[in-house]
A and B are shown apart, each in its own frame.
Chain A
Amino acid sequence: MQHIDHHWQRFTLSQKLARYSVYLCFTLALVFSVRTVEVIPEFFYDAPEQMMDMFSRMWPIDLEFYPTTVHGAMIETLNIATLGTLVTLIFSIPLALMNASNIVASPWVHWIARFFLVSSRSVNSLVWALLFVAIFGPGVLAGVLAIAFRSVGFVGKLLAEALEEINMGSVEALRATGAPWGAVMLKGYLPQVLPSFLSIVLFRWDINVRESAVLGLVGAGGIGVVLSDSMNLFQWEQVATSLLAIFAVVIMAEILVVNIRKRLI
């Protein structure tokens, strides 16, 4: 019987080297970070005590604060999230069409669209809000635009991916009949991407509800303004009311979105 002198290895030598160099770089980055980061140890040891102190100040929750201030601000927050999600469609649908390779074939157009999508995602919604507060002044308008500009990248990218995954058969059939571009879009592409389009928009709306809750911290309207006011006045009972309201609304939005998406797909 022939003796098989072969030791099985899962990875080749170069694969191993590549893996180990990733581990090495990673460990070096970690060691460097831990050694140079400026953390005051006393603050760290003190943290549990300070946190207990903060939570004890939050109790009892000031429920009377809800109908006077929090409710209106919460409605405003929901409006910012919803309107921002609708405004984002104006920008993200054309960019998604430009980014989908089965609609526009030119690589130049793809790169232009991708540039806008990536810059929208790289700038955080709070930074967008700071910019728009500088432009339009404090208020709801800045919040709506911040949400809209932040969401363009997300909706545009996912919608382009959904467009690229469709079955081209019906599109080709429509083209063969000599249908104009608009008809091909509406009757060929749209029916196929509609469920995923709606679920992307709903998903983004859910994220936007969370994000719009903090935009007020930089003056862009909504519950964040109330939160930062009561925090600056050290009214921790009122802070707790706002936090509870945000928590409840976020959970309800998530349950709503999950249920609608289940029916869509």
Chain B
Amino acid sequence: MARLKPIAADKQQNPFPRNWGLSAMWVVVAIYLVYSVDAMGLNLDRFLSGLGHADKLLGRMFPPDFSRWELLLDGLIESLEIAVISSVVGIFFSLFIGLFAARNFMPNWISSPVRAFIALCRSFHPVIIAILFVKSVGFGALAGILTLIVATIGFIAKLFAEAIEEISFKQVEAIQATGASFVSVILFSVMPQVFSRFIGFATYQFDSNLRNSTMVGIVGAGGLGGTLFSAFQRFDYDFVAAILITIIALILFWEFLSTVVRRIF
């Protein structure tokens, strides 16, 4: 029987070799930290004195003040309305825009400009779009709705186009073989394949619109954000705490609802 020969120590392979790429990355991160802290003038004194303020701020935030619940409810309802309308209108437009952006259905000269448009919708933060809409259509819910429609198109149309590009063409060919029109092909062969994913995108986007609708008010586009911002400016920190708790509760409630909806579909 052959005996196992001990391997010479210098020929033994280290089972855990050093990952030089990773080490280099840590060095780069360390250098960057030193550089950025220096470049932005961050220092410890300011941080520590801020912690004292944090203590005071938290002291003033608790207990949360729900006594002006009517104001809170008004803002909340307006936020919900903005979220619902913008999701519906935005998703409706995204259906068509997504279809036009799908490269397996449309020729290149249609899909490329549509894709560029979607990328443009996505590249600006909703707040910047909200500012532009507030300047052009005035303060109020309309600016918020238009903003979130743009945000919805940027997200849903892109994902929807990708979902359409991934479908199986067997069903499409089967429906086409019956001599169906283009609309029937879309309705009976494309839609059934992408519908469940589409519900997933739609609930996700509604979630995101709900979060954003509580924020666009900060720049004057209606909803709970406006109430929040004015409470901040008047230093009513206990009311701020109440609004924040309401927002978190609303989002947790929607997360619960959306799992129920997803289980149904």
Q: Which of A46-54, A59-67, A103-111 contacts B (4 or more CB under 8 A)?
A: A46-54
Cβ-based interface call for A137 (8 A): yes
Mask for A243-263, Cβ within 8 A of B = 1, else 0?
100110011001000000000
Cβ of B214 and Cβ of A124 under 8 Å apart?
A: yes
A contact patch SS: helix
B222 neighbours in A (Cβ, 8 Å) = 38
Those of B28-67 within 8 Å (CB) of chain A = 29, 32-33, 36-37, 39-42, 46-47, 50-51, 53-54, 57
- Interface residue count on the B side (C-beta < 8 Å): 62
The chain A residue sitting closest to B37, CB to CB, is A83
Those of A44-103 within 8 Å (CB) of chain B = 44, 46-47, 50-51, 53-54, 75-76, 79-80, 82-83, 86
- Residue ranges of B at the interface with A (Cβ–Cβ < 8 Å): 16, 19, 22, 29, 32-33, 36-37, 39-42, 46-47, 50-51, 53-54, 57, 77-78, 80-82, 84-85, 88, 123-125, 127-128, 131-132, 135-138, 140-142, 145-146, 211-212, 214-215, 218-219, 222, 228-229, 232, 237, 244, 247-248, 251-252, 261, 264-265
Cβ of A38 and Cβ of B78 under 8 Å apart?
A: yes
Identify B40's interface contact among A19, A37, A79, A135, CB under 8 A. A79
Cβ of A44 and Cβ of B252 under 8 Å apart?
A: no
Bound CA–CA A118/B255 (angstroms) = 10
Bound CA–CA A67/B221 (angstroms) = 32
Bound CA–CA A194/B21 (angstroms) = 12
Those of A26-54 within 8 Å (CB) of chain B = 29-30, 32-34, 36-40, 43-44, 46-47, 50-51, 53-54
Cβ of A40 and Cβ of B138 under 8 Å apart?
A: yes
Cβ of B128 and Cβ of A214 under 8 Å apart?
A: yes
Cβ of A127 and Cβ of B124 under 8 Å apart?
A: no
B16 neighbours in A (Cβ, 8 Å) = 187
Cβ of B123 and Cβ of A135 under 8 Å apart?
A: no
Q: How far is the CB of A51 from chain B (nearest CB, A)?
A: 4
A54 neighbours in B (Cβ, 8 Å) = 132, 135-136
Cβ of A19 and Cβ of B264 under 8 Å apart?
A: yes
Mask for A4-25, Cβ within 8 A of B = 1, else 0?
0000000000010011001000
Cβ-based interface call for A231 (8 A): yes
Bound CA–CA A7/B82 (angstroms) = 43
Bound CA–CA A82/B33 (angstroms) = 9
Cβ of B85 and Cβ of A30 under 8 Å apart?
A: yes
Cβ of A122 and Cβ of B247 under 8 Å apart?
A: yes
Those of A96-152 within 8 Å (CB) of chain B = 118-119, 122-124, 126-127, 130-131, 134-137, 140-141, 144
Cβ of B264 and Cβ of A18 under 8 Å apart?
A: yes
Identify A124's interface contact among B53, B82, B212, CB under 8 A. B212
A250 neighbours in B (Cβ, 8 Å) = 123-124
